[in-house]
Amino acid sequence: AGGPAGRLAAAARAVLALTCATLVLHWLQKFPCQDARWDNLEQYTRFCYTDVIPLYGAKGGLLHGGVPYLDYPLEYPVVTGFFMTLIGVPVHALGTAAGINEYQWFYHLTALGLFACAIATVAMLLALRRRRPWDVAMFAVSPALLVTATINWDLLAIVLAVAGLLAWARRWPVHAGVLLGLGTAAKLWPGLLFLPLVMLALRTGRYRPVWTSVAAGVGTWLAVNVPVMLANFDNWKRFLELNTQRPVDWGTVWYVGRFLDGAWRSGAPGDRGPFQWLAAHVDPYLNWTSYALFLAACAGVAWLTLRAPQRPRVAQLGFLVVAAFLLTSKVWSQQFTLWLLPLLVLARPRWGAFLAWQAAEIGYFLAFYGKMLIESGRDVMPEGVFVLAAGCRWAAVAVLCLLVVRDIRYPHLDPVRAEYPDDPDGGVFGDARDRATAPPAAPSARPAARVRADG
């Protein structure tokens, strides 16, 4: 097809094709681990580890005919458990009847399901950026997607989160709430995307659609979780217990701080390192400290929302909130970078900073496997190399946040605003009077029913 519409359609098809190519390369990269015969630390030396395989064979789990939550506790929220069950139960039945390699089949079918989630995510991002389809190529060719797509089930939550943003952009607040509620029941973090909506409601005065969406999200989360809670509460709460009791994870700012404290004190025996006070006073309250820092960051984002010269875009605020959660959290697994990918595509489609961030993520990915080999007894690199990679990743995400903040403070720098007269993801905020900056407007001539519907 010719003309602008034809060129845009061709670009969308090209982006979808690039996504499929990246996913195929990921499958090939993980191929050495798919049979579960991990000899001589092959899962680390060939960079192909995935949680999918060991969790299938967990004690009392799917490999043994168990059903998550009913028969054994699972460390993930219930929608992820449903996804695992949907694939694992028939695979186990087929393995019992035909003697197939259940690990292999479970991984391949899980990968296909997650690949479908990734492709659907790209299709929805293209729908959100019809005028800028090549922005979505940032997701399609992302090196982080290439190496982490099936390490865990994060793509399931991502597709639900992006679907929720698309529904909001189409002015379907109930649908948006349901989808974000399902995403929260898959990985929790999609629930953070309600915060930007609340912040923008404070600026625009459009409260009713936001509270409708929040109520739909809470109701959906309860509808999914309550039956499992009633069936076996102890197994259901395993996810919450794990996240509460889990120690500081590799790659977080807290881990880097502990390493720097140890390095300081090792140079001067008996000296108190600059991080020792934090270790002594913060560690017992680490959960609350990380929560407090995250809430402080959200308060800063809310202040920015109200004080910006022009109403910020939903995706910009969503990226800042989710990034703040990762930057302050005590857990930051390597695949969590996927959470930020679609949000950055929508928030700041600039290739330079994106590629620098991806380089930092790949550096951390490689260093992570070196760290795994160190923990397995192989001396492959100094610990400082891993800490440096973790610090670079943290700094790269922090710089992205600063760049997004700059775009909010100086809207003329925002590339999306150059193509769209208003926020393409704004939904009901799209035609709202900017109460924080705009002068009083003449009374609206819209019908009363429309005014009531808009809140």
* pLDDT tens, the chain, 455 aa long: 345 667 778 999 999 999 999 999 999 999 999 888 898 999 999 999 999 999 999 888 999 999 999 999 999 999 999 999 999 999 999 999 998 999 999 999 999 999 999 999 999 999 999 999 999 999 999 999 999 999 999 999 999 999 999 999 999 999 999 999 999 999 999 999 999 999 999 999 999 999 999 999 999 999 999 999 999 999 999 999 998 888 889 999 999 988 887 665 555 544 555 555 555 556 678 889 999 999 999 999 999 999 999 999 999 999 999 999 999 999 999 999 999 999 999 999 999 999 999 999 999 999 999 999 999 999 999 999 999 999 999 999 999 999 999 999 999 999 999 999 899 999 999 888 887 554 444 444 444 433 333 43
Q: Please tell me the predicted confidence (pLDDT) of residue 120.
A: 98
Q: Is 377 exposed, middle or buried (0-12, 13-18, 19+ CB in 10 A)?
A: exposed
Q: Which residues does 440 contact at the CB level (< 8 Å), separation at least 6?
A: none
The three-point CA angle 281-284-288 to 5° equals 100
Question: What pLDDT, on a 0 to 100 scale, did the predictor assign at position 340?
Answer: 98
C-alpha 216 chain-centroid distance:
21
What local confidence, expressed as pLDDT, does residue 59 receive? 85
Q: What is the rounded radius of gyration, in angstroms, for the C-alpha atoms of the chain?
A: 23
Q: Which amino acid is at 185?
A: A
Residue 446: predicted pLDDT:
43
Q: What pLDDT does 179 receive?
A: 98
The C-alpha atoms of residue 37 and residue 199 are separated, in whole angstroms, by 50
The CA distance from 319 to 317, in Å, is 5
Residue 72: helix, strand or coil by DSSP? strand
Tokens of 247: 């120690």
Give pLDDT, residue 434: 80
Q: Which pLDDT belongs to residue 168?
A: 98
- Classify residue 41 as left (phi > 0), alpha (psi -120 to 50) or beta: left
Short-list 214, 200, 259, 139, CA closest to 425: 200
pTM: 0.91
Q: What does the pLDDT read at residue 277?
A: 55
Burial of 232 (0-12, 13-18, 19+ CB in 10 A): middle
